[in-house]
Structure 1
């Protein structure tokens, strides 16, 4: 049995609690600890849920909350300590067959055995999820572009995040070690980094990564939050 999707009300409540927790202290290190604790409590396989919660804040009309969250990601980038999620490496074997139903409880570290995995920040996670074969059903072009543009719009509210994240992506694009990224993914990371650093709109930045061939037409529902 697959786990039910959280309701919009549940997502909004979680986002409100996150913003309240970040607002409760002025120390940037404390705020980063709050963000990382949320990721840990959700669990490694629930990183998409973390992205949904962040997406609720990004879609809201609360610019203060967006800036607070973006500044916290900026702190993480300065420390090179982004709250991340794990996706299986592109060269992994033993992944479930496309289209076959898989229970969420089965997608554990034991299921994948020694499959190499790497912790990815929110932008990198979306790119790999969209472009590479992982333990998850691929993110569609439409879902990917909307999610990435929304994420970048929020991150741009922090000067540190706006400046440092493209630099990180550009560095990741040069990394051919560990098999974490395919060549196509590295090219898209480089394209995102260049467009973002050049001050392009979030929509154009997202479009820079969407011209690689999509692997499936399946979508991850991110709207109606």
Structure 2
């Protein structure tokens, strides 16, 4: 039985609790611990819910909350320790969207054999989810663009995040060895990195990601975030 998604009010309440937890501590390292703990408690299957909570803050008019959250991601980037979620690599294409009946070991690296799985930060996760075949129903282009624009706007509230995240994406775009990203995904990550570094508006950065690779027609069913 599929769980019903939380209501907007429940999401706002959860986002408020997250911001309050971060604000209760002045230590950036402890704030990062709080953020990572939340991602772990939600679990890999519910990492999109973690992204939804970030999106609630991003869409709010609370600049203080945005600075707290973005600054915590800045700390994570300095440590190269982003709160991430895992997606199956592009080689594993036939997993159901709802994996509740499966045990955790079923979805382990052993299940995929040599097919790699790795933790992805928010921007990388959105890009892979939109572009590659994973265990999830692909994310639609409009939902990807909007979620990415909000994410970048949020992260821009920290100078460290605004500077370091594009550098990370540019490095990821050049890495062909792990196999976690297809060529098309690397091209989009490179486009995001270049546009972000150039100081373009978040909506323009998100559009640059879509423009980097022509849309491919397919029979895939897409979903919103």
SS in 1 for 2:210: coil
SS in 2 for 1:149: helix
Does structure 1 conserve the Cα–Cα contact (< 8 Å) formed by 2:137 and 2:221?
A: no
Give 5+ residue unaligned stretches, structure 1. Answer: none
CA-CA distance at 1:6 after TM superposition:
1.0
Say yes or no: does 1:219 pair with 2:223. yes
Runs of 4+ in 1 over 6 A off after TM superposition: none
Does structure 2 conserve the Cα–Cα contact (< 8 Å) formed by 1:188 and 1:209?
A: yes
SS in 2 for 1:86: strand
Matched residues in 1 for 2:21 and 2:93: separation?
40
* 2:191 equivalent in structure 1: 191
Does structure 1 conserve the Cα–Cα contact (< 8 Å) formed by 2:58 and 2:150?
A: yes
CA-CA distance at 1:208 after TM superposition:
1.0
* 1:165 equivalent in structure 2: 165
Say yes or no: does 1:55 pair with 2:60. no
Matched residues in 2 for 1:102 and 1:81: separation?
28
Please, what TM-score do these two structures have when normalized by structure 2? 0.91
Please, what TM-score do these two structures have when normalized by structure 1? 0.91
Give 5+ residue unaligned stretches, structure 2. Answer: none
Correspondence 1:90-105 to 2 at 5 A: 90-92=90-92, 94-96=94-96, 102=98, 104-105=100-101
Q: For residues 55-97 of structure 1, what are the alpha-carbon distances to aligned partners after superposition, in whole Å with 9 as ceiling and x for unaligned? A: 111111100000100000000000000000000011125434x
Aligned pairs, number: 217
Matched residues in 1 for 2:100 and 2:38: separation?
20
Name the Cα RMSD after superposition. Answer: 1.6
Does structure 1 conserve the Cα–Cα contact (< 8 Å) formed by 2:94 and 2:135?
A: no
Larger RCO, structure (CA 8 Å, separation 6 or more): 1
CA-CA distance at 1:2 after TM superposition:
1.4
Matched residues in 2 for 1:15 and 1:196: separation?
26
